[in-house]
């Protein structure tokens, strides 16, 4: 199995589920669910549970939330190497949701990530970890200067870089480093932010992204077709209908994790994408952004039970 260095967001996700329709300006009965999350962290935990040796470098505060993140990483078998700020709060994302899952409002307290300049990130110790890795996995939470330095350092030593987009507002931080990215996992809104195109079919995004400088990526569209491209090849697959849907949180990160697991094993573009689709479906069938019971055996079982995705001409 591969050695993966994951760098980026590892924070707290809070979901407030309302018992009934939202009433503005009033006290609304409901319940909170609190769990560890973050794009790079979700994908890192998936890859660790699939048997890869994963090291996590992520900013963290000196609070109980940091301890929760550390426990979640330990549960997945990750080597945890936090950038700790004892006088700061661990980043968090808090959302209020209607009973059907529609978002009422959300608050992202991510200020700590902005305190990581390139010089704070690119230490001699981190460069040693880069040199020992087979894959660098990052998300878009850190400042643009830090991400650019990370991309340059990986390119200098020929280390493949995979990226989780996170959001349309943040993915553009990679715009000057696209040529250094082997795989950028994103949705259509994030692809639009990078290309400037308002709409496109799944088959059209790869060529648009290639013109912007990206050499490989995944473009998802909820339960719709998923596109993957790398080294001039493109495939677009329509996943089979979901038999069970519990929570879509983390499904995009799972798609990237399954794809990268196949890529690290030398799989074909289409086989890797099918693997990602299977892991995304497994994740959407449970509450939370990751499956605590994930293993290579469980993924193999899901692949054998899943109807073959339909290939769509791009």
d(CA 222, CA 292): 23
* Structure token pair of residue 18: 């309302």
pLDDT the model gives residue 95 = 87
Beta-ladder partners of 238 = 310
Beta-ladder partners of 230 = 216, 233
If pLDDT is split at 50, 70 and 90, which confidence band does 147 have?
very high
- Supply the angle between the helices 39-49 and 251-264 in degrees, to the nearest 10: 50
Number of neighbours of residue 263 by Cβ within 10 angstroms: 25
Specify if 86 maps to a domain. Answer: yes
| Of 6-20, 50-64, 97-111, 158-172, the least confident | 97-111
| Consecutive H or E run containing 310 | strand 310-311
**CATH code, domain carrying 103:** 3.40.1190.20
Handedness of CA 190, 150, 212, 202 (dihedral sign): negative
CB 136, CB 162: distance < 8 Å: yes
Residue 77: give the domain boundaries: 3-21+31-311
Specify if 192 maps to a domain. Answer: yes
| Of 42-46, 203-207, 245-249, the least confident | 245-249
pLDDT greater than 60 at residue 314:
no
Q: What is the pLDDT of residues 265-308, one digit of tens each?
A: 999 999 999 999 999 999 988 888 999 999 999 999 999 999 99
What are the Cα distances from residue 121, in Å, to 3, 18, 91, 129, 268?
20, 40, 17, 12, 34
d(CA 231, CA 204): 16
- Supply the angle between the helices 39-49 and 64-76 in degrees, to the nearest 10: 30
Specify if 44 maps to a domain. Answer: yes
Specify if 26 maps to a domain. Answer: no
Per the listing, tokens 């949701």 go with 97
d(CA 258, CA 264): 10
Average pLDDT in the chain: 94
Domains in the chain, number? 1
d(CA 144, CA 169): 12
pLDDT greater than 80 at residue 244:
no
Specify if 127 maps to a domain. Answer: yes
d(CA 114, CA 111): 6
Specify if 283 maps to a domain. Answer: yes
pLDDT greater than 80 at residue 47:
yes
Reference 9, options 82, 77, 104, 107; nearest CA is 82
Beta-ladder partners of 79 = 55
């Amino acid at each position: 199995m591969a050695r993966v260095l994951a760098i980026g967001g590892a924070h707290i996700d809070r979901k407030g589920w309302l018992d009934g329709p939202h009433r503005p300006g009033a006290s609304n009965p409901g319940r909170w669910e609190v769990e560890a999350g973050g794009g790079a962290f979700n994908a890192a935990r998936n890859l660790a549970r699939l048997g890869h040796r994963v090291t996590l470098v992520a900013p963290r505060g000196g609070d109980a939330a940091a301890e929760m993140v550390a426990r979640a990483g330990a549960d997945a078998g990750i080597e945890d190497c936090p950038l700790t700020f004892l006088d700061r709060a661990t980043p968090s994302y808090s959302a209020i949701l209607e009973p059907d899952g529609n978002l009422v409002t959300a608050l992202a307290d991510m200020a700590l990530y902005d305190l990581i300049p390139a010089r704070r990130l690119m230490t001699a110790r981190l460069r040693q970890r880069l040199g020992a890795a087979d894959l660098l996995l990052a998300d878009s939470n850190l400042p643009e200067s830090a991400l650019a330095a990370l991309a340059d350092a990986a390119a200098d030593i020929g280390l493949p870089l995979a990226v989780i987009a996170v959001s349309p507002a943040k993915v553009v931080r990679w715009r000057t480093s696209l040529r250094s990215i082997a795989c950028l996992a994103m949705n259509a809104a994030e692809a639009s932010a990078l290309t400037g195109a308002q709409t496109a079919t799944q088959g059209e995004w790869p060529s648009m992204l290639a013109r912007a400088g990206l050499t490989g990526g995944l473009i998802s569209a909820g339960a719709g077709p998923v596109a993957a491209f790398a080294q001039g090849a493109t495939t677009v697959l329509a996943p089979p209908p979901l038999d069970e849907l519990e929570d879509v949180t983390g499904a995009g990160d799972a798609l990237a994790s399954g794809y990268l697991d196949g890529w690290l094993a030398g799989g074909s573009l289409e086989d890797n994408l099918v693997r990602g689709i299977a892991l995304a479906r497994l994740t959407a069938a449970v509450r939370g952004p990751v499956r605590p019971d994930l293993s290579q055996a469980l993924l193999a079982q899901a692949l054998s039970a899943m109807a073959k995705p339909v290939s769509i001409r791009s």
